[in-house]
Homo-oligomer: A and B are copies of this chain.
Amino acid sequence: MVDAAETPTLTDAEWTVMRAVWQGSPCTARDVLERVADSGWAYTTVRTLLQRLVDKGAVAMRLRGNTSVYEARLREQDAKQSAVRSLLQKAFDGSFGALLTHLARTERLTARDRARLQRLLDEQPEERS
């Protein structure tokens, strides 16, 4: 009852920045800019997004000299889990099983994926409601 409860929701652009931050956590805006180079974003855009993430509590900011240093506060695991939950709610009636069924039906599973799914089935301990 502690973790993914108050996870902030991230927009697409914010996900891009968070991925960069997670890539190496105490980092500067300049670092992030480099990591998201292909986005073509301006430095100030990265800055704005980082600020919004700070506002949301997803990253922490502190000063080192006159430079802001950012550090992830939201854990990648939690963000992912939250994103999955959100998808589950809006598109799969909240049912994890419905999602799996959909995946198995529509996604092309590689042999590796199939094996992984199988393992998921075999390993997961029986549910005790």
Contacts and interface: CB of A to CB of B under 8 A. Distances in A.
Contacts of A91: 15, 79-80, 83-84
Interface stretch (A39-47, A49-57, A59-67, A114-122): A114-122
A80 B104 CA distance: 13
Interface string A102-121: 11111111111110111111
Given A79-B91, A90-B12, A121 B104 contact: yes
A126 interface: yes
A15 B92 CA distance: 11
A97 B119 CA distance: 12
Interface in A75-96: 77, 79-81, 83-84, 87, 90-93, 96
User: A interface, by DSSP: helix, strand, loop or mixed?
Assistant: helix
Range class of the A interface residue count: 35 or more
Interface of A: 12, 15-16, 19, 77, 79-81, 83-84, 87, 90-93, 96-97, 99-114, 116-121, 123-124, 126-127, 129
B96 A117 contact: no
Contacts of A96: 103, 107-110, 113
Contacts of A101: 116-117, 120
